[in-house]
Chain A
Amino acid sequence: MSTLDWTIATGLLIALIVAAVYLGRLNKSVADFILAGRKVRKYLGMSSGTAEGLGLASIAASLQQGMQNGFALIWISIILMCYTVPVFGLIGFGIKRFRATLCMTIPQFLDQRYDPRLRLLVGVILALSGILNMAIFPITSSYFLVAFSGLPEVFTWGAWTFDTVHVCMIALVVLAVLFTFLGGMVTVVVTDYIQATIVVSAMLFVGIMTLTELGPSLIHRTLTDEIGEAAFNPFLRGSYGLTWIVWVFLLTTVNKLAFAPAVQKMASADSPETARKMELLQSIFGMGMRIFLLLIGIGALVSLGGVPAGETAESYFRFAGAIHLRETLPVVLMGLVFAAFLFASLSTDDSYLLAWSAVIVNDIVQPLFKKPFSPKAHIRIMRGFIVLIGLFIIGFGLTYDPQESILDYMYMTGTLIGGIGIAVFMGLYWSKATTAGAVSGIITCAVIPLADLFGKQIVGDRYPLTTQQSGLLALISAVVVLVVVSWLTGRGRVAPGWVDYGVEVKRLDAEEKGAR
Chain B
Amino acid sequence: MTIDWHWASIPELAAAFRDGRSSPTAHLSHLLGRIDALEPSLHAFVALDSDGAAGAADASAARFAAGQPLGPLDGIPIAIKDVIDVAGFPTTCHSALRLDHVAARDADVVARLRAAGAIILGKLSTHEFAIGGPAFDLPFPPARNPWNTAYHPGGSSSGAGAGVAAGFFSAAIGTDTAGSARNPASASGGVGLKPTYERLSRDGVFPLAPTLDHVGILTRGVEDAAILFDVLTGDTHAADLGSGASGLRIGMVRHFHEEDMPADAETAAALDRVAVSLAAQGAEVIDMRLPPLEAFATVNRVLLQSEGYAIHGADMRTRPERFSALTRKALLPGAFLSAKDMILATWHRGRLTEAVDAAFADVDVLLTASSMEPACAIDDPAEIARTYMLQARTPFNVTGHPALAMMAGLSTGGLPLSLQSAPRRDDERTLLRVAAAWEAAMGGPQHPPL
User: Do A and B make up one complex?
Assistant: no
Residues of A within 8 A of B (CB): none
